Structure 1
C-alpha cells in the first residue's frame, strides 16, 4: 500500500476545517498532519515539516492565501479553497493544482484529489556550479545558467528561454528562482525571472532582452533598481 500523502489545511474559518477534515478522513490516500488558521502558523509548519498537499483558503485576515504563496520559496502542491471565483485565473500563476469553490461538495473534492494523485511525485530540482537540472517531458535536462536569458511562468510549468531554444520545465517560478544564482538573476515580475547580464535596455515599464519585451511588476521595481544600481 502506498504511503498516505501528508496534507495540511489553511483556513481561518472553523466550519471550513470541519468539512475538509471530514473529506480527508474518508480518503486513505491522505493523512492530515496540521490545521492552520493563518499564514504565520502555516509558515512555521512548512518550515519544519514535509508537506505533500496544502488546502489553502484565499480570503484570510492580514495575509491572504495568494500573498502567502508569494512569500514561499518552495510551494507544496496546493488546492485553493475559496468562496470567490474571481481569483481563479490569478491563482494558476502560482502553479496550484485546483480551485475549489465553497461550499465544497464531496464528489468535486474527490475529483481534485484524483488530479493531485495523478501528478508525478515532486522531485526537487538540483543545481550544481554553473548549471541547473530540471524536468522536461519526464526527462532531467541540465542547463548552463550562462545560456539562460529569462524564464516565464506557465501555470504548473516554467518556460526557460536559452540562447538557442526554450524548455517547458516541470517546476514553479519560486523553485527556479531559488536554484538560480542570486547575483546573476533577478525576479522582475511574479511571472518572469531574467538574467541581468542579458538585459539590453530598461524602460519605465519593461525590460528589453533578447529582442523580447519583459514587463516589470510594480512590487519588483524597487528590487530591480537596487540590483542595477
Structure 2
C-alpha cells in the first residue's frame, strides 16, 4: 500500500507529540511536518504536497480555518479539536473527519481508514492525462499513464509505450517539462521513467518490461524516496 505523507498543525506541543507518536506507529503514514499554524508553516505544507493534514482550530497566530483557506493543495483534512462547536464549520470546508479531543486510537484509525478510502476514490475519478505530440508529421494524442519510459535520441526523444514507440523532435529537458507529473522522473541524462511502471530496481538500474535502464548516482536517493511513496 502507498505510504501517505502527513503534516500536523497543532498549537499544543503535548498534542503534537501525541499525534506524532500515533502516526509513527502507523505503517501507512509518514510524517513530513509538525508545527503550529503560521504563514511559514502554511508555505511549507503547500510545498510538501502532503496527502493528509491533521489540523487544530484554536491557535494564536492563525486559526485552523484561516490555515485551510490558505491551502493551495488538496489533502484529506482531519480536524483535531477540543470544541465540538467547530464541527459544522469544519465540514463546510469539506474536511474528511472531525476528531474530538481526547480521541482513542480506535477513533483515529477509523479516521485514517476513511481518509485513505476517500483519497483512493478521488484518484480513480481523475481523468486520463493526455499529451499531444507530433510523430511522423502527424499530431498524436498520448495517454501519459501508458508511457513506460522516454529515451534520448540526439535531437529527438523516443517515447516507449506498451503498444508502440513514438519518435518526437524534442530535447529531454523540454519533454520532461511537458510531462509535468510527479509520476515521471529523469533518472539519467538519457532516460525519463514512469514510476508506476517500475517492476524492480537496485542502485544501478531499474527494470521496466525487461528493459534495464541505468540510474544516475545523483538520483538514487530521490528514486528511493519516490518509489517508497507510490502505489
**RMSD of Structure 2 on Structure 1 (CA):** 2.2
Change (3 A) 1:34 1:112: same
2:30 aligns to what? 31
Deviation of 1:13 (Å): 0.5
1:185 aligns to what? none
Deviations 1:125-176 (A, max 9, x none): xxxxxxxxxx9xx4759xxxxxxxxxxxxxxxxxxxxxxxxxxxxxxxxxxx
| TM-score scaled by length of structure 2 | 0.51
- In structure 2, C-alpha distance between the alignment counterparts of 1:16 and 1:117, rounded to whole Å: 23
2:49 aligns to what? 50
2:76 aligns to what? 77
1:67 aligns to what? 66
Aligned 8 A contact 2:11 2:36 in 1: yes
Aligned to 1:19, the other structure's residue is in SS state helix
**Structure 1: tracts of 5 or more residues without a match:** 125-134, 142-229
**Structure 2: tracts of 5 or more residues without a match:** 129-231
* Count of paired positions: 128
Greater helix content: 2
Report matched runs for 1:25-174 at 5 Å: 25-121=24-120, 138=125, 140=127
Larger Rg: 2
Change (3 A) 1:13 1:44: same
- In structure 1, C-alpha distance between the alignment counterparts of 2:49 and 2:64, rounded to whole Å: 19
2:4 aligns to what? 5
- In structure 2, C-alpha distance between the alignment counterparts of 1:73 and 1:83, rounded to whole Å: 26
- In structure 2, C-alpha distance between the alignment counterparts of 1:120 and 1:109, rounded to whole Å: 16
Deviation of 1:121 (Å): 3.4
Structure 1 segments of 4 or more deviating over 3 A? 120-124, 138-141
Deviations 1:56-75 (A, max 9, x none): 00000121001111222333
Aligned 8 A contact 2:55 2:64 in 1: yes
- In structure 1, C-alpha distance between the alignment counterparts of 2:73 and 2:46, rounded to whole Å: 10
Change (3 A) 1:28 1:106: same
Aligned 8 A contact 1:39 1:65 in 2: no
- In structure 2, C-alpha distance between the alignment counterparts of 1:48 and 1:139, rounded to whole Å: 22
- In structure 2, C-alpha distance between the alignment counterparts of 1:75 and 1:50, rounded to whole Å: 8
Deviation of 1:122 (Å): 7.7
| TM-score scaled by length of structure 1 | 0.51
